[in-house]
């Protein structure tokens, strides 16, 4: 996998809602004229930016006859741009006291015709996609498509001659799992060997619902589920669970060092996977196998299909709470660290790096 995405943290967008000016589009009835000005921004850190190749804006409004599609506009950019480089887009909308806005960036080409024909809020929510459609043969995101991202915000009210400002977040529609190798203990040696050292991540999935609400937008994880938007796959058939495999193509060996700045921990490989909820019996949880990992000058070690069952999540006060590992969530980076010491190999910690705020998850798995 390419390393250029390893340190991406977050991507945010801001939506500005403006009332119509006197030169608003004439075909809208006079009492419903309004303009929606959408401006995408992020926090300015170049390591956290994604290139955007296309943007789609879908707007639904509430009317006396029910929820109605108001806008479905797909914009292709002539050259990829980051969010901060994109000019604000003006959309013609019908004023309403209950507007829902969906922003989609870098939609897979396999979904374009379906998205063009979207007329129902619920059809959009049920839309599935296969994340393999956005990956090349090396498992990297296809550059011409880019990282797919979606965001949903609702309960927006806009009326003629009224100006409002609404902040919105868009999130990546995939999760990623990174596998690291770390030397621990004084004198411990580890590394990887070309054509020999391998990692297998079991139970990766590819199918996912495409559009999902966002916690920061108030459209996911609400106590009142009627405010949520989106669905998560669960009870995924065994036939849809696949292994991800990596074999080293180069060799490297390093010994544990206590020196300041020493790189005792190095990335081995990364895998993209779809968002889903695990089964309660652990049968479809992620599992890790590693083979032919150097342990010292001449020995090797490994592990076989170790299932990740329980995690200890550390809250914002530093208090650990044990809980089951129940789901893979989009826009998260799951970092698995295998540690090699004088005795052997063990996986001691898993951290979840949200592509927004960081969360730490400790997993005790003495192997």
- Reduce the DSSP state of residue 47 to 3 states and report it: helix
The residue count of the chain comes to 367
How many percent of the chain have pLDDT more than 70?
75
Q: Tell me the per-residue pLDDT of 81-95, one tens digit each, with 9 for 90 and over.
A: 776 556 556 667 777
- Residue 310, pLDDT > 80, answer no
Q: Band of the pLDDT at 233, cuts 50, 70, 90? A: very high
What are the CB-based long-range contacts (under 8 Å, 24+) for 67-70? 67/100, 67/121, 69/118, 69/119, 69/120, 69/121, 70/94, 70/96, 70/99
Q: Tell me the per-residue pLDDT of 92-102, one tens digit each, with 9 for 90 and over.
A: 777 778 889 99
Q: Band of the pLDDT at 159, cuts 50, 70, 90? A: confident
The pLDDT, as a whole number, for residue 25 is 31
Residue 178 corresponds to which tokens in the numbers above?
A: 């990174």
* Integer Cα distance of 24 and 3 in angstroms: 46
Q: Tell me the per-residue pLDDT of 317-342, one tens digit each, with 9 for 90 and over.
A: 767 777 788 999 998 888 888 999 88
The pLDDT, as a whole number, for residue 186 is 78
Choose the weakest-confidence range: 202-216, 231-245, 302-316: 302-316
C-alpha triplet 265, 269, 274: angle, nearest 5°:
125
- Residue 314, pLDDT > 90, answer no
* Integer Cα distance of 215 and 201 in angstroms: 28
Mean pLDDT of the chain: 80
Q: Tell me the per-residue pLDDT of 40-54, one tens digit each, with 9 for 90 and over.
A: 555 455 555 678 888
Q: Which domains does the chain have, with CATH numbers?
A: 7-23+32-172 (2.60.40.2580), 175-205+233-362 (2.60.40.3380)
Q: What's the rounded mean pLDDT across residues 307-325?
A: 74
Q: How, if at all, do strands 287-295 and 276-277 pair?
A: unpaired
- Residue 363, pLDDT > 60, answer no
Mean pLDDT highest for which of 24-33, 94-103, 253-262? 253-262
Contacts with 167 (C-beta within 8 Å, 6 or more apart), sequence order:
12, 14, 15
How many percent of the chain have pLDDT more than 90?
45
Q: What's the rounded mean pLDDT across residues 102-107?
A: 92
The pLDDT, as a whole number, for residue 217 is 87
């Amino acid at each position: 996998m390419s390393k250029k995405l390893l340190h991406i943290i977050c991507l945010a967008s801001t939506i500005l809602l403006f009332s119509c000016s006197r030169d608003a589009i004439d075909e809208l009835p006079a009492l419903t004229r309004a303009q929606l000005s959408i401006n995408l921004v992020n926090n300015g850190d170049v390591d956290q930016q994604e290139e955007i190749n296309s943007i789609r804006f879908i707007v639904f409004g509430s009317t006396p006859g029910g929820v109605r599609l108001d806008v479905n506009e797909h914009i292709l950019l002539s050259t990829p741009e980051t969010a901060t480089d994109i000019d604000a887009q003006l959309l013609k909308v019908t004023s309403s006291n209950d507007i829902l806005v969906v922003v989609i960036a870098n939609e897979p080409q396999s979904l374009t015709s379906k998205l063009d024909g979207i007329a129902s809020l619920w059809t959009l929510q049920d839309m599935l996609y296969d994340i393999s459609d956005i990956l090349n043969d090396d498992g990297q995101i296809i550059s011409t498509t880019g990282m797919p991202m979606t965001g949903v915000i609702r309960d927006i009210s806009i009326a003629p001659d009224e100006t409002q400002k609404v902040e919105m977040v868009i999130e990546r529609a995939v999760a990623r799992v990174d596998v690291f190798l770390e030397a621990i203990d004084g004198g411990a040696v580890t590394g990887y060997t070309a054509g020999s050292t391998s990692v297998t991540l079991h139970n990766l999935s590819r199918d996912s619902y495409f559009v999902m609400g966002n916690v920061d937008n108030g459209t996911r994880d609400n106590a009142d589920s009627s405010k949520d938007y989106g669905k998560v796959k669960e009870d995924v058939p065994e036939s849809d669970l696949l292994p991800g495999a990596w074999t080293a193509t180069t060799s490297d060996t390093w010994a544990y060092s206590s020196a300041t700045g020493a790189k005792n921990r190095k990335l081995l490989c990364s895998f993209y996977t779809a968002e889903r909820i695990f089964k309660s019996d652990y049968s479809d949880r992620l599992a890790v196998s590693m083979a032919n990992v150097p342990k010292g000058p001449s020995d090797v070690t490994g592990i076989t299909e170790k299932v990740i069952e329980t995690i200890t999540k550390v809250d914002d006060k530093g208090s650990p709470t044990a809980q089951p590992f129940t789901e893979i969530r989009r826009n998260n980076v799951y970092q698995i660290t295998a540690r090699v010491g004088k005795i052997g190999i063990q996986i001691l910690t898993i951290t979840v790096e949200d592509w927004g705020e960081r969360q730490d998850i400790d997993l005790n798995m003495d192997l």
